[in-house]
Amino acid sequence: MTIAVLSEMPSGAGELSVWPASTTPLPHGGLAVGGVPLTEIADRFDTPAYVLDEGEVRERCRSYRDAFPDADVLYAAKAFLSRAMVRWVQEEGLGLDVCSAGELELAVTAGFPPERIVLHGNAKSPRDLEAALRLGVGRIVIDSPSEIARIAAAVGPDGRQKVMVRVVPGVSAGGHDKIRTGTDDQKFGLSLTDGGAQHAVKRILGQPQLELTGLHCHIGSQITEVKPYLVALRRMVGLMARIRDTYGISLPELDMGGGHGIAYRPGEPVLDITALARRLRTELARGCAAAGLAVPRLAIEPGRAVAGPAAVALYRVLAVKHTGERVFVAVDGGMSDNPRPALYGVRYAPRLIGRAGAGAPCTATVVGRHCEAGDILAADVELPEDVRPGDLLAVPVAGAYQLSMASGYNLVGRPAVIAVHEGAARLLVRRETLEDFRSRDIGD
């Protein structure tokens, strides 16, 4: 299986280049993913729905393991998490990075070893920390000074918890201002430039309940170049050298986070994971040799690059409206199941499936059913001019930060997730129903 995440998208890439590798054309405009026709899934499970290709997820996990054989690869659960996803990730040899007690407990109750889990979060709740300590999470990443005393107190006088410090290295990278986390003007981490990270290290080393195992940084998301990671790594190695010189300890771990960019539309660039692995190893060895440091064990945290290209969203067209020169194609989902276009201006490439369009291509905007003018799923895309109510649209690269960020807006209900693999389809996450909303509403 060829995984697009491994290299730049070649010029002239086909229109199916961003789809799961198992995608195959069928007669009359149909497509199959994982050996299952998408029209069959829509008829059997209804729409909107997410179709998740198990084989694609597993192959992307293996690609990371192959590229980083001597590193810890942690799947970032915030991209998408379910019991099945937990099992696939575990079986493929990855660890987990979680951001809440909910993600942590789902993973552990699904059988994931807690010692292979890292807990993140810029504002961890008492419940988050209680669950982490009760379940025996492998690492807690300290994101603010107040967490140091809180975690030490929760551990108690006879306990010991491994922790890392999230460092802001002063590197600006990412596909949008709202997903850039490597600079001092956002909520995450402790600054390298103002001494906040260094002060946190000093305080942690003074807490016998805490064992500082290393440093962590995450510079942003949807990054498609290797250079920002190398700049961040150099600064992290420099801080590790200063810690060694000041306190006489060599930290054994360095987590460089994730944010690996993927293509949402044919022709867009992606991060070259093979080049990233090679250059990170080289730079880490060079920097540590120059500083006289033992080379720490590297960790990375891919989420989007594992889950994103592995899923397809299915929608049914409800209405087509011609307003002046604009064509609006309204579907039975929208910003409640994919808020990313409204939040980040993300662009997608939807496709009519199940029949061959009879007309020439027209420029249309695919919109959702919600009461917001900004409920736009895909602006200015090409669809057949005869697109009509009842048609089925499929949107690739739908596996990350869609269902995980979904809401209950307009009480529409979140879509189902269906796994496909080797010609079979099965329900992973059922559709949210009106009864779900009624059962939560206990007032009168």
> What is the spatial distance between Cα 380 and Cα 364, in angstroms, rounded to a whole number?
5
Structure tokens at 141: 């990443």
Q: Which residue has the tokens 């190893």?
A: 281
The three-class DSSP label of residue 116 is helix
The residue among 54, 19, 5, 84 whose CA lies nearest residue 313 is: 19
- Spatial neighbors of 94 by CB under 8 A, at least 6 apart, are 61, 64, 65, 73, 74, 75
Instruction: Answer whether 25's CB lies under 8 Å from 31's CB.
Output: yes
List of residues 6+ apart from 441 with CB closer than 8 A: none
Decide if 371 is catalytic. yes
- For the record, the structure tokens of 387 come out as 């697109």
Per residue in 66-84, is it b (16+ CB within 10 Å) or e — as a string? ebbeebbbbbbbbbbbbeb
Closest CA to 44 of 418, 422, 421: 418
Q: Cα separation of 61 and 343, whole Å? A: 28
The pair of three-digit structure tokens given for residue 217, joined into one six-digit string: 């940084």
Contact yes or no for 44/51 (Cβ under 8 A): no
Task: Give the whole-angstrom CA distance, residue 110 versus residue 172.
Answer: 37
Query: Which contiguous run of DSSP H or E holds residue 238?
Result: helix 227-247
Supply 226's token pair. Answer: 């290797």
What value does the CA radius of gyration of the chain take, rounded to a whole number of Å? Answer: 23
Which of 61, 99, 288, 371 does the annotation list as catalytic? 371
In three-state secondary structure terms, 216 is: strand
**Pick from 91, 114, 89: which is nearest to 104 by CA?**
114
Residues carrying an active site annotation: 371
